[in-house]
Amino acid sequence: MAVVGKTELIKLQKSLITDEAIGKKFKVTRQAICQLRTKYGIESNIAKNPERNKKIIAMYQAGKTGTDIASKFDLSIAQAYRIISKKSVKSPRKTAKKK
């Protein structure tokens, strides 16, 4: 396995983001990179997701579309809507039924 130092792994996490992408660069598995992160005490990028998800929900409640949100956060549209629906957010676009 390629030796990846702590500082190099931190830099790679900022540029390549995922353990899988870092693993591909060094031709090792995602799990091997995960084990190195654990060994060095480096937090995963996934730990930042709750903060990101709050921003996504706030944008949706403010009237942004799922497509706009997905492009801003570099997500698929489906993933953006999964995050929104997971939090049971009501659409701001729904109007009351006319009688």
Number of residues that this document lists for the chain? 99
Give pLDDT tens digits for 48-95: 788 889 999 999 999 999 999 999 988 889 989 999 998 655 555 555
**CB 84 within 8 Å of CB 66:** yes
pTM for this model (two decimals): 0.55
**CB 12 within 8 Å of CB 45:** no
